[in-house]
Structure 1
Amino acid sequence: MYITITAQKIGESYSSSVSDFVAYLEKENENKPLDETEYFFNQQGDEFLAKDVIKDIDGNTSKLKKNEPRFYSITVNPSKSELKHIQNDTEKLKMYTKTIMEDYAKAFNREIEGKPIRIQDIKYYAKIEHERTYKGTDKAIKENAPYYKEIVKLRNDIQKIESGKLVGDIEKKHKQIKNLEHEAPHKINGIMITQGMAKVGEQSHIHIIVSRKDQSNRYSLSPGSKYKASEVKFNGKTVKRGFDRDQFFGQAEKRFDGQFKYDRNFVETYQSKKLLTKNPQRYYASLIGLPNNEKAIAFKLLSQAGVSVPILNVPTSQTQLVLKTINKMKQGITRALNSGSISI
């Protein structure tokens, strides 16, 4: 499970309306029959229209300044293993989303009129997408880039030859393009992978739009707060503040495991990802210390994510070699997470 929380921006400025983001989330509904349409949903219903989402979120921004986010985007990315476990069931994903949004509310160290934040205080709309496309950060795109660059140059040359601006053999250049497409290291069904191409396999994920303001449009609730859950003295009174992302991310993982009886491997856990960031050596030691059956699963998951699993019998006396190996693995896992090729 990989979850992100971001404030939506257009360039350097915060979006003044949620309309562009909603339009982006509607792209999969284009040309679909009505019975296959994916609607927005939340605790109150399962078939909200895009126009209603825009009206509700945009109308819930009382007293927010131009330099403050109007809404946040939460993206929930189940791994391929998790999707396989629930058979890519849309209704299960909806149920799961509603459950973790209850935990989202609980992660606020805030009170409204003396009561802890509850799901009833959160204004949000969620939508499930079933497709992903290749981005520039994906390994396949980066490794195909030199071939694609040369192909673009050849195509430009062909256009110039056709317009009389350049002299050359068009047929020869077409053959060169075919050869480059064949030589490119990453292809789907024989077709070279390029940016924007749809990824194969189950790619379901959830987008959640959360209003910065609560349901009453009176209180500001920021999951992007620089403060973790804490208390501070303000005008002589103790005031609660902050949002605990660790609590939210960790609980989301536990919810999935509990709801769907999922047996999570070490490399899939939120705690292991934190350990990888803070102490790669301990992460590496924990990985090689797993029981053989769990280690085999861990290696398989890492391999599926495009991570080159290092040789594990490196002599511990060769400190520099060990650290280099660990760092290489860390970089591979980080790229897998950031690229959206989520398998861990």
Structure 2
Amino acid sequence: MSPSDEGRLTVDFSLLYFVNRETVDASREYELLFETAKFADQHDFTAVWLPERHFHPFGGAYPNPALAAAALAARTRKVRLRAGSVVMPLHDPLSVVEDWSFVDNISHGRVDMALAVGWNPNDFTLAPERYDVRREYTFEAIGEIRDLWAGKKVRRRNGHGKEVDISTYPRPVQPEPRLWFTCSSNPESFKEAGARGLSVLTALLFQSTDELAASIKNYRASRERSGHDPATGTVTLMLHTFVGEDDAAVKELVRQPFTDYLLSSIDLWKAQWSDLNRSHPRRLAKLAFERYFHRAALFGSVERCTAFARDLRAAGVDEIASLVDFGVADSDVLSMLPRLDEVRRNLRTHPAATAV
């Protein structure tokens, strides 16, 4: 959604997957993916976001977002199929454009991509030489992706050591790709995305809503300074999501699975809160759960979640990508979706900001 004056009154809703539970039954993860994506497709959600995860039992069901998108292309008709995200330094732009052009064709032009620089050193066993220059490589790759998508050639060295000009096939359906840049909380990343005309995929893991609002303001200003329309470009916010009958019931239902989810990745995020670094992991997870529940996730009743979504819209968020596969039972996730759709529809029919 482009944030025009009218568009700023509402929010797009999508689903996002970032499974962080041990993948002991990958086929079960895919069934949840298929069923939730089917719901999104039938209920006017904007997109489904598909992750790239490597070499770890938690999340290992998703090694390539293009593969997941291809599976969904045959099962959906309207919903956008998005990489959330391609870890760009692990790939050559040639293979990225080949893969996603294929999906663009079988989906009849429904793909978009977020690009990430990556962070986990073990992922870079695929390209160890790029770890220290991963940010620079990612931004250089953006130009090649755009060129290749448009049908231009790029220069590479072939098996004989000869410099050759290469094009990719199949040709995509869409004339140009919509690209996001994945930002955590670094304000400079928002500015860089704006300067390059990219959209933004972000989260509240290491930033408050007020800090996010400031970064979005800088993002819009950076777009304008660089000659891009400041009223275009989408800010997509990832939020862990569970919408229930009432706040207390939701809190009890998500407490254990979400705490386990946090514990599974505690070494990745505990350093962000230096004052808690010496705390026991379970104490850290308990504190983090309370923070998430109250101000960093879409948890609670329809009314509570609608109010929070309106606050986020006021902060400049254009799209909420609801992460639904953090460990709650599949049957509960599926039964939750109509209530999430109610939140989505509330933002459409009653867009005025009346957060409580």
Fold agreement, TM-score > 0.5: no
TM-score normalized with structure 2 length: 0.25
TM-score normalized with structure 1 length: 0.26
- Give the greater-gyration-radius structure (CA): 1
